[in-house]
Each structure stands twice: as structure tokens, then as C-alpha cells.
Amino acid sequence: GNSVTQMEGPVTLSEEAFLTINCTYTATGYPSLFWYVQYPGEGLQLLLKATKADDKGSNKGFEATYRKETTSFHLEKGSVQVSDSAVYFCALRGNNDMRFGAGTRLTVKP
Amino acid sequence: EAGVAQSPRYKIIEKRQSVAFWCNPISGHATLYWYQQILGQGPKLLIQFQNNGVVDDSQLPKDRFSAERLKGVDSTLKIQPAKLEDSAVYLCASSLIRTGQETQYFGPGTRLLVL
């Protein structure tokens, strides 16, 4: 079946550092890929998505590229801010299925 | 635009009791999803509705869990009888349509503790 594996946390970075959170997937067919974020005290919300191979999703300075050859969708940001502290979830949608990774907690220190 | 509403926000029950959660999706959203999120894990999809019909409930433990969306708007998720391992946050989400690429909008969740 479909599955998502993401980098274990927690991740602690200093402000303006470069961020990478790894995400790999296993799926049949052509799934859509997502990154959802949960800020402290808030509900899950979509950060970005990509619906086909080589697509790049981007939002709020974050980017992720749908790599079919490596079955990956790594999240990157060039310069993190304290306000980026949150839990990040990689997710896959295929047919009637929706699978989430376990989440990676990011803390950014000033 | 109002978001997805869920109630109650917190519930504590003893094992073997029953419990029900309510969800009101964003107005006009045809698709509704229920997830279970156990501490330290990502959300697990339990059931999804398209209007008032079930699209998929393959991961719903049907011996104790049930869900309905009678008029294609609000939905309830019920657990009867509850087990200790049902302690989790139950999330409701909705989307405008179901395309495989849709953005899902999540509610704040109901945190359930089974003692």
C-alpha cells in the first residue's frame, strides 16, 4: 500500500539557517504530494502541494519538488524565521487514499 | 469564511463507554473526512464522504466505529464501546470537491482520553 516516510525530529535551527526536511514515499500510480503545517495551538493547514512529477510547490519561502525518480518530496527553505516553528507533515493522496508522515517538529531559535 | 467546526474540543471517558464527535464543514464543501491522530503520529484517514455517501471507509474499525453524514452537511463519528487505544485527537476536514489534488481544510480536532 501507499506510505510516507519523513525525517524524524525534532529539528532545532537558528534563525536564517537553511532548512531541509526529507520526505520519501511509496505509491502505486501517480499520487499528489502535500506538505501540511501545524503551528502551535492551531489546526493543520496546507503549506504547498505538487500534483505531478517535476512540479515544484512553493509558499511562504518554502519549496518542494516532486521527484518521481527518487520518490521524494523534500521540503526546503533558504532562511528560516522564529515564526516557522511548527510541526510539518508530508502527505500523499492516491485514488481514495490519504497518507501522512509522522511529522517533524521544527524549532527556530533567535 | 468560517472554518471547519468540531465539538467537543476535549472528552474524557472510561473504557467501554460510548462517545460521539460532531463536525460542521466549510459551507459548500461536498467532501468530508475523519482522521485519527495518535500522539506522535501523523493523521490516519478513517472515512471520507462525498455529500452524504461514503467514498471509502476501509480503515474504519467498523466493529466499534461508525460515522454518518445524513444531509450531506454535518457529520458525526461515534465510538462504541471505547478502548484505551482509542485515545487520540479526532480531526475532521473538508474540501470543495474530490479530485485527488484537493486542498483539505482541517478543524481544530477533538482530543479524546479513554481511561
| pLDDT, tens digit (0-9, with 9 covering 90-100), for B58-74 | 999 999 999 999 888 99
Taking CB atoms and an 8 Å cutoff, what residues of chain A touch B104?
Answer: 46, 98
State the pLDDT at residue A28: 87
B105-106 and A62-65: which strand pairing?
unpaired
Ordered DSSP codes for B39-56: TTS--EEEEEEETTEEEE
Burial A87-110 (b: 16+ CB within 10 A, else e): bbbbbbbbeebbbbbbbbebebee
Percent of chain B at pLDDT exceeding 90: 86
What's the whole-number mean pLDDT along residues A65-80? 97
Q: Are B112 and B86 in contact (CB under 8 A)?
A: yes
Give the Cα separation of B54 and B45 in Å (integer): 13
What's the whole-number mean pLDDT along residues A51-67? 96
What's the whole-number mean pLDDT along residues A76-83? 97
User: All 3 cell numbers of residue B104?
Assistant: 483539505
pLDDT < 50 regions, chain B: none
Most B CBs within 10 A among A42, A44, A46, A51, hence the mutation to make, goes to A44
pLDDT digits (tens, 9 = 90+) for A2-38: 999 998 889 999 999 999 999 999 998 889 999 999 9
User: Nearest residue of B to residue A35 by CA position?
Assistant: B103
What's the whole-number mean pLDDT along residues A62-72? 97
State the pLDDT at residue A53: 93
Instruction: Note whether B106 contacts A96, CB cutoff 8 Å.
Output: no
Interface of B with A in 42-61 (CB under 8 A): 42-45, 48, 55-56, 58
User: All 3 cell numbers of residue B61?
Assistant: 474499525
Average pLDDT, chain A: 95
Q: Are B18 and B86 in contact (CB under 8 A)?
A: no
Query: A32, A33, A5: which is closest to A21 by C-alpha?
Result: A5
